[in-house]
A and B are shown apart, each in its own frame.
Chain A
Amino acid sequence: MINFLIILFIISLIYLAKVEMVKSYFTLMAFQGILLFGLAYFELKEIDLLHLLFILLETLVFKTLFVPLFLHRITRNRIHRHHNGPIKGYYSVLITAVIVIGCFMISYVIHDELTVNADHQVKYFTAAISSIMVGLFIAINNRDLVTHLIGYLVIENGIFLLSLALGSEMPMFVNSAILLDIFTSVLIMGIFFNKMKDYFQNVDASHLSQLKD
């Protein structure tokens, strides 16, 4: 089951590169949220109730419901298609596929460095690194700010997968900080996003060039 979910997650990453309608991004983010909850549920079977509730909050409530709905709300009726970056359409799918294959190779090399439960951890590792790299690619390749936010969320999903590989070893305080991090970042960025629309009429990042030497 874990294998199936991880493969679905990686497919969702490749699909992200092809998306043209902004609304599809939000659906994909919600889908990734569900996948992450499934992974966390199967991975952390033996954790205590508090941790489980926490992960439920982080994945289902937050990643699946709150963030996509919030982003949908702030972009409602204004932005439908995102501005393409320099690399368009199928080329970006190709590049994403290359990134994912590259991450498979890295994980293959890294496999020997993992001694505890290596076969298991390496799967998470592959998906996590792919997610971080694809997130960076999305952020760099696209010009509009909504897509930048999506890139950030994809990176955060990668970090979540990486922490799953480690199990529930981090103190609760750090877990809370991660949740707070995503929560406030999205919230604050959302608020600023609205303000930017007032100033710059639309949300193309190329308008953000006032500050220079």
Chain B
Amino acid sequence: MIYSFFIFTAALAVLVYFIRNKTISHSLVFGYVIVMIGLGLYLIPLLGQTLNEYFFSDRLGIIFYVVLILVSLFSAIHYVKFVNDRNVKEADVALHNAGTIFFTGAIIGILFTSHFGILWAFMEATTLGASVLIYHNRNQDALEATWKYLYVCSIGIAIAFAGVLFLGFAAQQIGHIDFTFSAIKANASTLNTVWLKACFLLIVTGFSVKMGLVPLFNVDIDAKDASPSQVGASLSSVLMNAGFVAIYRFYEAFSTTSILPWMNKLLMLTGLLSLFFAAVYVLRVKNVKRMFAYSSMEHASLVIIAFSCGGLGYFAAVLHLIMHSLVKSSLFFQVSQMHRIFSSKLDENIGSYLRVNPLGGLVMLLGFLSIIAMPPSGMLISELYMFQALIAKDYWWVALIVLMLVLIIIYGLAVKMLGIIFLKKNSSNINLQGATPYESALQLALIVIVFYIGLFRPQIIVESIQLAIQSLPA
């Protein structure tokens, strides 16, 4: 079944590429989302079981799969509006939709594969898919961003592959080369820790470009800026989740070895450095899309810091990622609308947004409150858990540094966002036809889900996350 799905994905992507009718092209993308829902319904009863040699129905995978379906559906809806509004050429629509299907299929592969080699291969596929999506606007910025993204991602992926090969060296020494997660985990305690450390270091370095962390975060920011907003939304949400899942798989497999404290320290250092860079850049950024991209980097850092604490931190990390995906997608979608109204991405040209476009302004305001973790946003809960996990481990100084950096970021975001929402500025060329209430209503729905999670903490989400992370050390 799962093989058929990937063959179907590849065939559909090729088919969509050759279709020059926009309506049929969009319909096929919606059709693909329906097939994704079908795959989800097939996988849920098989939770925790292996599907075949290379794939399994994993609980963590399912959680992020549901997020992927939601974001893909909303992206597809927003892309229809984007195409109509900008009168995008048929060939460009075809390439974008084919790229979207290919990219989504690759992410599904990452979520459900049980083999390190295949995980790497799907990660590589996301680079190719994402490059097509980033180049959508065909202008100088898009070209520069795509070149940089493709180049740095290819190097990152090559480094990650060296990591997989180092794991191979370790496995070869015990005469056991089976690259499935379960086989590596079962034999992990007998593997040479030097190779495991080298492997994990290279994996975190290589996949940092997908999650938007230090050291390869730059190209990720450029890509989110130069691509259409719905692509920025996907890169900030589902691709970040996929990067996390990839690092998680290696972490889980090695978690029974003596290198666990070392891995935690590495992740914490990566998180702190990323948070520092996010704080520095967010203060000087003028472009709204880049500001949200740096905010995504901040949240990726918080996730990885929480994860490095273990215990409650694991739970906080997964919960935070789910909610961040929904809120950040919503904000990126709204930026597209804002861009249509003000014909600018710079904060100095955008003002009184709540008055100009009340529903859109409300989305911006609530989205802003969510990303700075103000109540009733669910992100407050996950950030509180993160600090609880830090303090439980006696990392007082880390908690203090994180708190200070987060405060700087909140200040940087607040100065710009409140200006955009409330301040009257010299905005010219305001085009109110760009304000479409149904788009804002959809974005609002995503934020309401996050508020709902924050206020009521639905049992199904809590239990799903707890079951997904139960194989990690307490």
User: A185 to chain B: which residues have CB within 8 Å?
Assistant: 150, 154
- Mark out the residues of chain A between 122 and 176 whose CB falls within 8 Å of any chain B CB in the assembled complex: 132, 136, 139, 145, 148, 152, 155-156, 158-159, 162-163, 165-167, 169-171, 173-174
Question: How far, in whole Å, are A165 and B147 apart by their CA atoms in the complex?
Answer: 32
| Most chain A CB within a 10 A radius of its CB, from B120, B155, B177 | B155
- Mark out the residues of chain B between 127 and 185 whose CB falls within 8 Å of any chain A CB in the assembled complex: 128, 131, 135, 140-141, 143-148, 150-151, 154-155, 157-158, 161-162, 165, 168-169, 172-173, 175, 177, 179
Q: A48 on the interface (CB 8 Å rule)?
A: no
Q: Given A177-B124, A208-B144, A213-B285, check contact A170 B154 (CB 8 Å).
A: no
Question: How far, in whole Å, are A203 and B179 apart by their CA atoms in the complex?
Answer: 41
Q: Given A170-B168, A199-B140, check contact A159 B162 (CB 8 Å).
A: yes
Nearest chain-A residue to B219 (Cβ)? Answer: A211
Our pick among B141, B150, B161 for the contact of A188 (Cβ within 8 Å) is B150
Taking a contact as CB atoms under 8 Å apart, the answer to whether B124 and A192 are in contact is: no
Q: B192 on the interface (CB 8 Å rule)?
A: yes
Q: A210 on the interface (CB 8 Å rule)?
A: yes
Q: B299 on the interface (CB 8 Å rule)?
A: no
Taking a contact as CB atoms under 8 Å apart, the answer to whether A113 and B194 are in contact is: yes
CB distance from B471 to the nearest CB of A (A): 24
Q: Given A169-B177, A192-B147, A196-B143, check contact A162 B225 (CB 8 Å).
A: no
Of the four ranges (under 10, 10 to 19, 20 to 34, 35 or more), the interface on chain B belongs to: 35 or more
Taking a contact as CB atoms under 8 Å apart, the answer to whether A188 and B131 are in contact is: yes
Question: How far, in whole Å, are A121 and B168 apart by their CA atoms in the complex?
Answer: 12
Question: How far, in whole Å, are A132 and B61 apart by their CA atoms in the complex?
Answer: 33
Taking a contact as CB atoms under 8 Å apart, the answer to whether B117 and A170 are in contact is: yes
Question: How far, in whole Å, are A211 and B286 apart by their CA atoms in the complex?
Answer: 12
- Mark out the residues of chain B between 258 and 308 whose CB falls within 8 Å of any chain A CB in the assembled complex: 281, 284-287, 290
Taking a contact as CB atoms under 8 Å apart, the answer to whether B141 and A181 are in contact is: no
Nearest chain-B residue to A125 (Cβ)? Answer: B169
User: B192 to chain A: which residues have CB within 8 Å?
Assistant: 113, 115
Q: A24 on the interface (CB 8 Å rule)?
A: no
Taking a contact as CB atoms under 8 Å apart, the answer to whether B117 and A173 are in contact is: yes
Q: A178 on the interface (CB 8 Å rule)?
A: yes
CB distance from B207 to the nearest CB of A (A): 15
Q: A114 on the interface (CB 8 Å rule)?
A: yes
Our pick among B115, B158, B286 for the contact of A159 (Cβ within 8 Å) is B158
Q: Given A171-B117, A177-B124, check contact A189 B144 (CB 8 Å).
A: no
Q: Given A159-B165, A170-B168, A184-B128, check contact A211 B150 (CB 8 Å).
A: no
Question: How far, in whole Å, are A174 and B177 apart by their CA atoms in the complex?
Answer: 14
Question: A-facing mask of B206-224, CB < 8 A → 1, else 0?
Answer: 0000000000000000100
Q: B195 on the interface (CB 8 Å rule)?
A: yes
- Mark out the residues of chain B between 323 and 338 whose CB falls within 8 Å of any chain A CB in the assembled complex: none
User: A158 to chain B: which residues have CB within 8 Å?
Assistant: 162
Taking a contact as CB atoms under 8 Å apart, the answer to whether B117 and A213 are in contact is: no
Q: B118 on the interface (CB 8 Å rule)?
A: yes
User: B222 to chain A: which residues have CB within 8 Å?
Assistant: 211
Q: B121 on the interface (CB 8 Å rule)?
A: yes
| Most chain A CB within a 10 A radius of its CB, from B131, B162, B225 | B162
User: A171 to chain B: which residues have CB within 8 Å?
Assistant: 115, 117-118, 179
User: B150 to chain A: which residues have CB within 8 Å?
Assistant: 185, 188-189, 192
Say whether chain A's binding surface is mostly helix, strand, loop, or mixed.
Answer: helix
User: A181 to chain B: which residues have CB within 8 Å?
Assistant: 124, 154, 157
Taking a contact as CB atoms under 8 Å apart, the answer to whether A174 and B162 are in contact is: no
Question: B-facing mask of A60-72, CB < 8 A → 1, else 0?
Answer: 0000000000000
Q: B107 on the interface (CB 8 Å rule)?
A: no
Question: How far, in whole Å, are A98 and B169 apart by their CA atoms in the complex?
Answer: 26
Q: Given A113-B195, A213-B290, check contact A169 B144 (CB 8 Å).
A: no
Our pick among A132, A159, A213 for the contact of B287 (Cβ within 8 Å) is A213
CB distance from A209 to the nearest CB of B (A): 8
| Most chain B CB within a 10 A radius of its CB, from A132, A155, A156, A213 | A213
Nearest chain-A residue to B131 (Cβ)? Answer: A188
Taking a contact as CB atoms under 8 Å apart, the answer to whether A173 and B118 are in contact is: yes
Question: B-facing mask of A192-209, CB < 8 A → 1, else 0?
Answer: 100110010000000010
CB distance from A162 to the nearest CB of B (A): 5
User: B158 to chain A: which residues have CB within 8 Å?
Assistant: 132, 152, 155-156, 159
Taking a contact as CB atoms under 8 Å apart, the answer to whether B143 and A177 are in contact is: no
User: B287 to chain A: which residues have CB within 8 Å?
Assistant: 213
Question: How far, in whole Å, are A164 and B290 apart by their CA atoms in the complex?
Answer: 42
CB distance from A62 to the nearest CB of B (A): 16
User: A178 to chain B: which residues have CB within 8 Å?
Assistant: 161
CB distance from A175 to the nearest CB of B (A): 9
Our pick among B151, B154, B173, B179 for the contact of A115 (Cβ within 8 Å) is B173
Contacts A113-B192, A163-B165, A177-B117 known; 8 new A-B pairs at CB < 8 A: A114-B173, A159-B158, A173-B54, A174-B120, A185-B150, A192-B143, A211-B225, A213-B281
The 4 A-B residue pairs with the shortest CB-CB distance in the complex, in nearest-first order: A177-B121, A174-B117, A211-B222, A169-B177
22 A-B contacts (beta carbon < 8 Å) = A113-B195, A115-B192, A132-B162, A152-B154, A162-B165, A163-B165, A166-B165, A173-B118, A177-B120, A181-B124, A184-B128, A188-B128, A189-B150, A192-B135, A192-B147, A208-B148, A210-B140, A210-B144, A211-B141, A211-B144, A211-B225, A213-B284
